[in-house]
Amino acid sequence: MRSLYLASCVFFLAAFSKPQPADPVKNNKPLFHSPDSTYSGDAELKYSIEGRKVDIKDYLNTGGKNWIALFLNEVSENAATGLVTVNLTNYLTKEVFHFVVADKGSTTFSHFQPSLANFRGKTATYMSPKYQNYYGDDVKVEITGRDDKHVTGTFSGKFKAKDGKIVQLDGRFDVPYKKGIS
């Protein structure tokens, strides 16, 4: 009798429960572009790292669902300091790009290391999907255009982790302004 009751419960749950699609963020698994996927939104980030090419916008549209793909942590301009902040997260891979650079032309970084002395100054950092920070070791970030709604730019060079590992990053961004949490 008890086994008949358990079998009925399992049958009932199986018959009336609907399988849910896996959320790539909650499962910490990257969701990559497939043939039936498209990207949409006003922000775009293109980059290559160690042979992997990435081209994403705000949202990944796949399987009838929209997933956050590119999260704008902060994109702002400080007229008083002449600096632009671009802080972006590839939400699908957990990579973070953080640049604080001159609002015109190019800014170069050589052996950059964050410190309390340069906490609010120019910055070129990259965080890998494994949550390892890399700092601009030989990097050039250039603001190629900006207006009252968005900023465009390029970045290229070597980023170095504290353990000495180096990654080569090359890319570009075209993102609208978004003030971070203060």
Instruction: Cite the beta strand spans of the chain per DSSP E.
Output: 38-49, 52-62, 65-68, 70-78, 83-90, 95-102, 105-110, 123-127, 133-146, 150-161, 166-176
d(CA 79, CA 60): 33
Give the pLDDT of residue 182. 46
**pLDDT in the model for residue 57:** 94
16 in a domain, yes or no?
A: no
123 is a domain residue: yes
The count of other CB atoms within 10 Å of the CB of residue 24 is: 17
The predicted structure's pLDDT at residue 116: 63
Within a domain: residue 169? yes
Q: What is the pLDDT along the chain (182 residues), one digit of tens a residue?
A: 544 444 444 343 344 444 444 444 444 444 444 555 788 889 999 999 988 999 999 999 988 888 999 999 999 999 999 999 999 999 999 999 999 999 999 999 998 877 666 556 899 999 999 999 999 999 999 999 999 999 999 999 999 999 999 999 999 999 999 876 54
Measured in degrees and rounded to the nearest 5, phi and psi for residue 130 equal -95, 15
Within a domain: 25:
no
| Inside any domain, residue 5 | no
In a domain, 181, yes or no: no
Residue 180, pLDDT score: 63
Query: pTM to 2 decimals?
Result: 0.77
Domain count, the chain: 1
How far apart CA 143 and CA 25 sit, in angstroms, is 31
Range of the domain at 168: 39-176
Q: Is residue 12 part of a domain?
A: no
Q: What is the DSSP letter of 91?
A: T
Beta strand 52-62 pairing with 38-49: antiparallel
In this prediction, residue 63 carries a pLDDT of 84
Tell me if 56 is assigned to some domain: yes
